[in-house]
């Protein structure tokens, strides 16, 4: 189901959390709301889900105006960073809960819950209590529970925010695979650009209550609309007064057209990557090379080089 927001404004007292925001989420897509803390991502997600009412503007899901429809009638599934599970109920019963209160037949509930637990790879842990799960397993249970009611839209607010880096990584791949299987329109909030680049079909960059840019991961990385998006999406450095990506600076031993001279101040080898701090007449910058490139150039601190931006 597609989601549209038109001219959404949300204030908390005098503070404008969302300022005339338009959004268009394609049916079946996995869309990331990405931006720095306090930018308004969660507020936008909550407005879509009906947990906040906008002061101006409209929200529609599948073409239906939902602006005044209460959250529980929007058919949306939520997952938050800290999932409030029923501690006294098993994983199975937690997932079944939403179906049981809808008084679905027992056999149907059992079949559906087993399907969902299989989907999130928790079928072996169905009898455990939430406290006996790892953080990653708990978030997978939360997703199964959100999917149980067959929502038309899934809204995830920093679902992996409380987990350590390694588990986050795992769950990203897993979320992507899950989405490819169920295709439910999904919007997830993250402040982690790598997470958005890796998982999302489309990224919406939100900052200061406004949408800065919407695009595919490669669009945003390669064609940022402004310096804010450029800096937010990946590493940057400054060559000749212009922001560039450190891996888009070509380093040569001899002069080439458009290149400026520099001297290597420091080299750092980080796995396959070499980072060189370089001093130029125009200021300092850092560039990123492969180990092979650095070795071919025989770079050492003090090497004289020529630099030019290749994009
Ligand atoms: N209920 C509220 N009352 C007052 N201010 C609020 C409320 N909810 C959010 N805000 C403010 O609105 C701004 C946007 O918050 P929001 O949670 O949407 O940002 P965010 O981009 O999701 O950031 P984070 O990643 O830190 O959650 C923040 O400055 C926040 O303090």
Tell me the residue range of the domain where 151 lies. 3-231
Count of Cβ atoms closer than 10 Å to residue 180 Cβ: 9
Kind and range of the H or E run holding 147: helix 135-148
How many domains does the chain divide into?
Answer: 2
Tokens for 206?
A: 């939100």
- Separation CA 47–CA 44 (nearest Å): 5
Burial class (CB within 10 angstroms; exposed 0-12, middle 13-18, buried 19+) of 192? middle
| Same-domain status, 61 and 190 | yes
| Same-domain status, 162 and 224 | yes
Q: At which of 203, 231, 259 does a domain end?
A: 231
Query: How far away, in angstroms, is 275 Cα from ligand 1 center?
Result: 37
Q: Are 23 and 3 in contact (CB under 8 A)?
A: yes
| Segment 17-42, tens digit of pLDDT | 999 999 999 999 999 999 999 999 99
CATH value at residue 283? 2.40.50.140
| Same-domain status, 270 and 225 | no
| Same-domain status, 38 and 185 | yes
The 10 Å CB-count burial string (b at 16+, else e) for 162-177 is: bbeeebbeebbebbee
CATH value at residue 136? 3.40.50.300
| Same-domain status, 219 and 253 | no
Alpha carbon dihedral 93, 94, 95, 96, in 10-degree steps, equals: 40
| Same-domain status, 126 and 216 | yes
Closest C-alpha residue for ligand 1 atom 9: 43
| Same-domain status, 173 and 279 | no
pLDDT at res. 35: 95
Note the pTM of the prediction, 2 decimals.
Answer: 0.88
Closest C-alpha residue for ligand 1 atom 1: 12
| Same-domain status, 201 and 246 | no
- Cβ–ligand 1 contact at 40 (below 6 Å): yes
- Separation CA 77–CA 178 (nearest Å): 15
pLDDT < 50: residue spans in the chain? none
ipTM metric? 0.91
Test site for ligand 1: of 41, 46, 193, 207, most ligand atoms within 8 A of the Cβ: 41
- Separation CA 34–CA 282 (nearest Å): 33
Q: At which of 178, 213, 231 does a domain end?
A: 231
- Cβ–ligand 1 contact at 17 (below 6 Å): yes
pLDDT at res. 139: 87
| Same-domain status, 141 and 271 | no
| Same-domain status, 91 and 138 | yes
Q: At which of 182, 213, 231 does a domain end?
A: 231
Query: How far away, in angstroms, is 17 Cα from ligand 1 center?
Result: 7
Cβ partners under 8 Å of residue 290, min gap 6: 272, 273, 274
Of 48, 51, 55, 46, the closest CA to residue 20 belongs to 55
Side-chain-facing half-sphere of 242: CA atoms under 13 Å = 9
Test site for ligand 1: of 13, 37, 38, most ligand atoms within 8 A of the Cβ: 38
| Segment 67-118, tens digit of pLDDT | 999 998 999 999 888 777 888 999 999 999 888 888 888 898 999 999 889 8
- Cβ–ligand 1 contact at 12 (below 6 Å): yes
| Same-domain status, 200 and 268 | no
pLDDT at res. 95: 93
| Same-domain status, 186 and 100 | yes
């Amino acid at each position: 189901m597609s989601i549209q927001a038109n001219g959404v404004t949300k204030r908390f007292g005098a503070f404008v959390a969302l300022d005339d925001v338009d959004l268009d989420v394609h049916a079946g897509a996995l869309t990331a709301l990405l931006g720095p803390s306090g930018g308004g991502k969660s507020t936008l997600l909550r407005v879509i889900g009906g947990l906040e009412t906008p002061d101006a503007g409209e929200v529609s899901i599948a073409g239906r105006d939902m602006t005044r429809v209460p959250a529980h009638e929007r058919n949306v599934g939520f997952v938050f960073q800290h999932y409030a599970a029923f501690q006294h109920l098993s994983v199975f019963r937690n997932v079944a809960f939403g179906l049981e209160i809808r008084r679905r037949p027992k056999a149907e509930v059992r079949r559906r819950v087993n399907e969902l637990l299989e989907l999130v790879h928790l079928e072996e842990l169905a009898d455990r209590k939430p406290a006996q799960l790892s953080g990653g397993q708990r978030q997978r249970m939360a997703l199964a529970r959100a999917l149980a009611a067959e929502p038309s839209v899934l809204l995830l607010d920093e679902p992996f925010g409380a987990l350590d880096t390694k588990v986050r990584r795992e769950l990203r791949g897993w979320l992507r695979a899950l989405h490819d299987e169920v295709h439910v329109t999904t919007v997830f909030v993250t402040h982690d650009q790598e997470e958005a680049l890796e998982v999302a079909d489309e990224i919406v960059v939100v900052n200061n209550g406004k949408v800065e840019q919407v695009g595919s991961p490669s669009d945003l990385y390669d064609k940022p609309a402004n310096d804010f998006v450029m800096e937010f999406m990946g590493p940057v450095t400054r060559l000749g007064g212009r922001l560039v990506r450190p891996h888009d600076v070509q380093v040569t031993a001899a002069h080439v057209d458009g290149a400026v001279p520099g001297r290597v101040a420091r080299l750092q080898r980080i796995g396959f990557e070499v980072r060189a701090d370089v001093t130029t007449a125009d200021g300092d910058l850092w560039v990123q090379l492969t180990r092979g490139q650095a070795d071919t150039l025989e770079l050492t601190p003090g090497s004289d080089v020529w630099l030019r931006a290749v994009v």
